[in-house]
Amino acid sequence: MKLTDLTRRTLMASTAALALSLGAVPATAQTPEDVLIVGQIAEPKALDPAAVTAVNDFRILMNVFDGLVRYKDGTLEVEPALATDWTINEEGTVYTFNLREGVTFHDGSPFNAEAVVFNFERMLNEDHPYHDTGPFPLAFFFSAVESVEALDDTTVEFTLNAPYAPFLSNLAYPTGLLVSPTSVETHGADVGRNPAGTGPFKFVEWRSNEAVVVEANPDHWEGAPGLEAVVFRPITDANTRTAEMLAGGIDLMVEVPPVALSEFQGDGFTVHEQAGPHVWFLILNAKEGPFADVRVRQAANYAVNKEAIVNDVLEGTAEVAAGPTPPAFAWAYNDELEPYPYDPDRARELLAEAGAEGAELTFYVTEGGSGMLDPVAMGTAIQADLEAVGFDVTIETYEWNTFLGEVNPGLEGKADMAEMAWMTNDPDTLPFLALRTEAWPDQGGFNSGYYSNPEVDELLEAARVETDQAERARLYREMQTIVQEDAPWVFVANWKQNAVTNDRVDGFSLQPSFFLLLDDVTKD
């Protein structure tokens, strides 16, 4: 009996200890007023806009820094920010910006033309004393820039080596955000942990793997933001992020997994959705094998049930894509394009015409990756659709970085089709890098399916140097019609980014740019 006594006593003692630890701690404290807690998907890499590439980091940066220009609220059109206005010479090679006066960086140093020059020289000029604070992976956004000069304190002039129409929207991208030169001089390579910009929020602290805290900048040129502070918490696991949102530990959650959306349908939460400049497609190998025949490529477009993929696999978090350009680029999008309808009979006819019934296909699928949504489930659904019309599809699955290493050098000799997704900031980027003849992999581009149409090449070259936006838009619309007909890809989906806020948050909306702008948000 002594033994049972003892165990019972031990048991009681340990239970008591546990109860004590439960009772002693108020478990989940209510988050404070006017402080927004944001559930991010990962720890930021750095808070240096020139050095980072991930949307996750951009979400913080856009609130701490300003650029010369920015996207107008709710659009992907460029409007003034730290530049009040600008002129472009007739050839489209010289951009002259007038800068906003009386703006200071968070560290107290003045914002002026010299600061702008410093930022671009740092990124582009290998001899600049602070070029070693890089690397700057997206510096090639500005590779057309030949020189940046301060004409006077409030005027800065960019000279390009050739006309380059996407220049302004590249300036609106986070890579174009302006960092205080003093902060770079003071912190060197550690500036990414000690950021100073001119934005609506000032950096306060970065607790590694816990939180990045920013507070309101009362002196912002647009007036103080509605919140006192914002805390960005990295929560990598989507289920944990959902649980934190349900428990009230965070006020705003980005990238809600489709299956968790139903958790937030009731009162107390608002689900936000916004289509962005994203397109999810299948690269088809147009150089060899069955897809060398345009009829077989079209057949694949007819065979895939896109509606079922966006509604059932993605639970309505995406829309069916019609062509290579996402509708979010409203000004350059061709409204007249209709997606390929789901028509298995038409697909079978085309296959019969081309004599490609029973064609064997190797299909590269990735396990996950930036913008890839739910690639395994989507790949499996596509495989089933293609087999239903008479293809014989074998899937090969790769981890994301391995996948890129297989796909980017081109599909020749390896595969007939591969999944891919892009998010860009200008309608030029994706087709220019992935559909031109000169963008074949052996020439350093991403045209991994070897599509080639001289007409498309010409349109894209012309649109890139056209500074008149209406004319540029016309060229892109024409390009979309041709590309849709040629079907170098199977156009599948445009992702709608989503976020959830709780009922204490007001004034929040998602942007088509996928950036997170918090200056108009309030919380009670």
Within 414-473, the residues that bind other proteins by CB under 8 A are 422-424, 433, 441, 444-446
Q: Locate tokens 């856009």: which residue?
A: 62
Q: Which of 61, 168, 235, 318 touches other proteins (CB under 8 A)?
A: 235
Footprint of other proteins on 75-114 (CB under 8 A)? none
Asked whether position 246 contacts other proteins by CB under 8 A, the answer is yes
Asked whether position 266 contacts other proteins by CB under 8 A, the answer is no
**At its nearest, how many Å lie between other proteins and the CB of residue 49?**
13
Site mask, other proteins, residues 381-410, x = CB under 8 A?
A: ------------------xxxx-xxx-xx-
Amino acid in the structure at residue 376: V
Question: What are 477's strand-pairing partners?
Answer: none
For residues 149 and 190, which CB has a smaller minimum distance to other proteins in the complex?
A: 190
**Cβ neighbours, 10 Å, residue 340:** 24
**At its nearest, how many Å lie between other proteins and the CB of residue 18?**
8
**At its nearest, how many Å lie between other proteins and the CB of residue 235?**
5
Q: Which of 15, 84, 370, 394 touches other proteins (CB under 8 A)?
A: 370
Amino acid in the structure at residue 176: G
CA of 454: how far to CAs of 379, 438, 447, 457, 513, in Å? Answer: 31, 10, 14, 5, 31
For residues 210 and 485, which CB has a smaller minimum distance to other proteins in the complex?
A: 210
CA of 508: how far to CAs of 244, 252, 311, 392, in Å? Answer: 19, 9, 26, 47
For residues 43 and 157, which CB has a smaller minimum distance to other proteins in the complex?
A: 43
Among the candidate windows 32-40, 162-170, 317-325, 383-391, which touches other proteins by CB under 8 A? 32-40
Q: Which of 12, 16, 204, 247 touches other proteins (CB under 8 A)?
A: 247
Q: Which of 174, 181, 197, 234 touches other proteins (CB under 8 A)?
A: 234
**At its nearest, how many Å lie between other proteins and the CB of residue 356?**
31
Q: Which of 31, 98, 182, 194 touches other proteins (CB under 8 A)?
A: 31
| Termini Cα distance of the chain | 60
For residues 72 and 207, which CB has a smaller minimum distance to other proteins in the complex?
A: 207
Footprint of other proteins on 475-514 (CB under 8 A)? none
For residues 387 and 438, which CB has a smaller minimum distance to other proteins in the complex?
A: 438
Question: What are 183's strand-pairing partners?
Answer: none
Return d(Cα 481, Cα 492) in angstroms, integer.
16
**At its nearest, how many Å lie between other proteins and the CB of residue 452?**
18
Return d(Cα 431, Cα 479) in angstroms, integer.
9
Q: Which of 27, 85, 108, 336 touches other proteins (CB under 8 A)?
A: 27
Q: Which of 189, 261, 292, 377 touches other proteins (CB under 8 A)?
A: 189
- Helix intervals (H) in 92-140: 113-124
Footprint of other proteins on 320-339 (CB under 8 A)? none
CB contact at 8 A, 284 and 69: no
- Check residue 441 and report its DSSP letter: G
Residues with Cβ < 8 Å from 425, sequence gap 6 or more? 76, 169, 170, 172, 173, 277, 513
SS3 98: strand
Question: What are 232's strand-pairing partners?
Answer: 38, 212
Asked whether position 262 contacts other proteins by CB under 8 A, the answer is no
For residues 19 and 384, which CB has a smaller minimum distance to other proteins in the complex?
A: 19
**At its nearest, how many Å lie between other proteins and the CB of residue 362?**
17
Q: Strand 35-40 and strand 252-254: pairing?
A: parallel
Q: Which of 161, 236, 394, 481 touches other proteins (CB under 8 A)?
A: 236
Q: Which of 36, 48, 279, 300 touches other proteins (CB under 8 A)?
A: 48
3-state secondary structure 301-360: HHHCCHHHHHHHHCCCCEEECCCCCCCCCHHHCCCCCCCCCCCHHHHHHHHHHHCCCCCE
Q: Which of 66, 121, 244, 486 touches other proteins (CB under 8 A)?
A: 244
Q: Which of 9, 45, 331, 468 touches other proteins (CB under 8 A)?
A: 45
Return d(Cα 512, Cα 401) in angstroms, integer.
27
For residues 2 and 454, which CB has a smaller minimum distance to other proteins in the complex?
A: 2
Picking from 211, 158, 172, the residue whose alpha carbon sits closest to that of residue 47 is: 211
CB contact at 8 A, 121 and 113: no
Q: Which of 61, 211, 286, 313 touches other proteins (CB under 8 A)?
A: 211
Q: Residue 306, Cα to own-chain centre: how many angstroms?
A: 22
Footprint of other proteins on 108-167 (CB under 8 A)? 134-135, 137-138, 140
Asked whether position 51 contacts other proteins by CB under 8 A, the answer is yes
Assigned token pair, 172? 């609106």
